[in-house]
A and B are shown apart, each in its own frame.
Chain A
Amino acid sequence: MKRTTVDLWVGVFVTAGVIALFTLALKVGNATTVSASHGYTVFAEFDNIGGLKVRAPVKSAGVVVGRVEGIVLDQQKFMANVKIRIDNHYKFPKDTTAAILTSGLLGEQYIGLEAGGDTANLAQDDRIKLTQSAVVLEKLIGQFLYGKAAEGNAK
């Protein structure tokens, strides 16, 4: 096939475009960070998840180890059932606790895992039994006011 100069310039253009796409996917996007497709899923039930969202990070000691994959309301217990996918590299003991925490004062909410002392590890579809719900600011203020009022009555 005869090669023309146009072919070369189209080649340059397409190469630049494809490089840009890959840069966006690898450098800008999260393709290289913990990918949600390889890993095992566990479940955790919370009384209140606050502002937790699907795709929120799951961290242990501040390191991202997985992502929240789904949140549904359990219609029997009326608790939030959170599906967590943890990367295959990370193993956690069976008595690990999960808490919903907030990064910074106004930051996003994430799930913090704190390892326990069990010798057996969490496996696919296991349930995290010990959970701590999100702090709801209104409840906190309510408790504070209630406490203050009770104090005033006692005096």
Chain B
Amino acid sequence: MIGALDRALRHIGHLAIDWVWKLGVATRFTGYVLVRSADSVRRPQLTLNEIYFTGTLSLIIIVVSGMFVGLVLGLQGYETLKRYGSAEALGTLVALALVRELGPVVSALLFASRAGSAITAKIGIMKATEQLSAMEMMAVDPFARVLSPIFWGGVISMPLLAAIFSAMGVFGGYLIGVVVIGVDSGSFWSQMQANVDLREDILNGVIKSVVFGVAVTLIALFEGYDAPPTAEGVSYAVTRTVVTSALAVLALDFILTSFMFTGV
């Protein structure tokens, strides 16, 4: 009895220490990625390839899901607003929900599962097949040549993807609200424009998506770099990337929202 309790406590303690340890390593890793990112600027082609990989290839899923989220928001919002006789506020509802929350958060979650998992798998397999060590042997810095460009590619892609998501969502809301249901087009747009502020809402949404981009890309890179060099290790690392990124995005979203949208 005492022995089982003792083992359980030891296990919990071990997990906690392991987690803190890993966090420390991750912080050092972040420092390396940032310090050695001069090459990503000096050789833009490296970063450009990563923007293609993380951004352009995520375009389809972002456009389609943004559209559907907008369509659903339009339908559900209309059903509720109709009861209070204010169906014209549909534009405001759709735009604010997308620009402030759904755009950055949902596109970050999609980004984590579409691009983040691929980044982890790529880095993990490069490590498992000793490509990273081979680079070091040839005096090529894997941080400068591989990791930093991926990081900057992700950070640049994420806000653009979130903006595309929000724009498609607003368009979807317009399609359902105005074209299908028949809310007045003029009041749909004018109420939206009267209530969505450029700095307060749109800029804060962009800041959110930049923060999510940094978080998701760093988690994906670190999990890949930290993965045990086995097939199983890489598969666990990919799973951890998606889970950890999702949790990090939602937690960061809560923190950022409480900073940005309180008061007034």
Contacts and interface: CB of A to CB of B under 8 A. Distances in A.
Interface of A: 6-7, 9-10, 12-14, 16-21, 23-25, 27-33, 53-55, 57, 64, 106
A10 B160 contact: no
Given A18-B160, A53-B264, 14 more contacts: A7-B48, A9-B56, A10-B51, A10-B56, A13-B160, A14-B160, A17-B55, A20-B166, A21-B206, A28-B202, A29-B198, A30-B195, A30-B198, A106-B84
Nearest to A35: B198
B163 interface: yes
A29 B202 contact: yes
Q: Which bucket holds chain B's interface residue count?
A: 20 to 34
A44 to B, nearest CB: 19
A6 B52 contact: yes
Nearest to A64: B194
A41 B52 CA distance: 48
Chain B residues touching A, majority SS: helix
B154 interface: no
B198 A31 contact: yes
A27 B48 CA distance: 30
B56 A28 contact: no
B49 A6 contact: yes
8 contacts: A10-B48, A13-B51, A16-B164, A20-B167, A23-B167, A24-B167, A29-B198, A57-B194
A30 B52 contact: no
Interface in B6-24: none
Contacts of B193: 27-30, 32-33
B206 A29 contact: no
Contacts of B52: 6, 9-10, 13
Contacts of A53: 264
